[in-house]
């Protein structure tokens, strides 16, 4: 299982890192771990963030 930083998730979704951080906070996704001082998330977080941002766009 690959762990991703907020920056890596943002790059995959082609959005700003702050948008990803906002989405992660709003949908209460807990990091899978911490690498140094960086939160890392499972690949499943990408789909959840993508869906959240898609719903946010339509509102």
Residue-wise over 28-58: b if at least 16 C-beta within 10 A, else e? ebebbeeeeeebbbeeebbebbbebeeeeee
Hey, what CATH topology would domain 3-58 get? Multidrug-efflux Transporter Regulator; Chain: A; Domain 2 (1.10.1660)
How do the domains of the chain map onto residue ranges?
A: 3-58
Evaluate if residue 58 carries a pLDDT over 90.
no
Q: What is the pTM of this model?
A: 0.90
Name the pLDDT band for 59 (thresholds 50, 70, 90): low
Reported as a single tens digit per residue, the pLDDT across 10-56 is: 999 999 999 999 999 999 999 999 999 999 999 999 999 999 999 98
Q: What's the confidence (pLDDT) of residue 43?
A: 94
Q: Which residue has the higher pLDDT, 57 or 2?
A: 2
């Amino acid at each position: 299982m690959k762990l991703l930083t907020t920056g890596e998730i943002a790059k995959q979704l082609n959005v700003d890192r702050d948008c990803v951080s906002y989405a992660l906070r709003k949908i209460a996704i807990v990091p899978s771990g911490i690498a140094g001082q960086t939160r890392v998330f499972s690949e499943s977080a990408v789909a959840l963030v993508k869906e959240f941002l898609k719903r946010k766009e339509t509102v």
